[in-house]
Structure formats: C-alpha cells, structure tokens
Amino acid sequence: MSVTTQRAFTRNKYQAPIHFSYPAADHQHEGEMVDSSIGGMGFVTSLELRPGDGILIHMVDMAPDPYWPEARSDYYAEVRWCRQQAGEPASLYRVGVRFLVETCRLCDETMYRISPEGRQVCDQCRDRFCSLSDGTITECIEKFLMGNVL
C-alpha cells in the first residue's frame, strides 16, 4: 500500500525577498520566498533553522496582488522543516513554515493558531453559525459558505 501526502493548501510559485528574525532578536536575516499558500510558505536562506521555532517574517517591497488579496507584509510562523539544498552553493537551506496567525474568513478577526488543525473561521463565527446545526462543525461551515444556512 502506498501512502500519498497531500498539502492542505495549494502552493503558488512566487519569488520575493524576505527578512525574518526570532521574536526576541534584534537582527534580521535575509531569505527568498520560493512558494506560498494561505497556510504557509517556503523560502531559501543561509541560516539553518530548527523545526518548531517561531519566527517573524517580513515581506520586502510588498506589492498588491489581486490573486492574493489576503496577503500581508508581516507573518508569525512556525518552522516545520529545514533541509540543506543539494547541488546549491554551500550552506543554503530550504525552509518550510506554517503561518500561526490567520484572519477569520467571515468577520476578519485575527486568529492565533494554537493547534495543528487549520481553522478558517473564529470561535464566535463558528458558534454563531453552528449553534442551529445538528451536524458537525465542518458540515455547518460548508453549508454556510455554500449559502445554505437556514
């Protein structure tokens, strides 16, 4: 039996310069974003990062993008993995991060992710729209987003 892993969000290839730092650090490091999604991003840097570390990411020269309207210039993220690039110049690392701050898709409230499962609505919106539902929260949210809430 073969196991296939699947991403929660589609990755978009996009190259852009970034700066990142540890939250308590004064010094920023440079990197280059190579792909991104609603849930995270991949970038290349000369600094080896440890999985589980929290970092602050700043997008340099952020231009408005009609295909990524929820894009921000700053992100708080968790390092999920870091691998040395094969065949690249010495000491370049490819890093994958997961964003820890999101915006509720219904009311635009800032949400801080504290669990591995992704949320797309805040607790207040979930409670408001799911209190009348006898089904699961996922079914309730899907019905709301499809316009079938009674």
| Structural domains for the chain | 12-99 (2.40.10.220), 110-145 (no CATH)
Q: Which of 118, 121, 143 lies closest to 9, judged by CA?
A: 118
Write the pLDDT tens digit of every residue in 8-17: 677 788 888 9
- Total Cβ atoms within 10 A of residue 147: 6
pLDDT, position 115 = 46
% pLDDT > 70, the chain? 54
pLDDT, position 100 = 81
Average pLDDT, whole number, for the chain? 75
How many Å apart are CA 23 and CA 35, to the nearest integer?
Answer: 23
Q: What is the mean pLDDT of residues 55-79?
A: 74
Write the pLDDT tens digit of every residue in 80-92: 999 998 776 668 9
Residue 33 has pLDDT above 70, yes or no: yes
Residue 20 has pLDDT above 80, yes or no: yes
**Per the structure block, which two tokens stand in for 45?**
């840097």
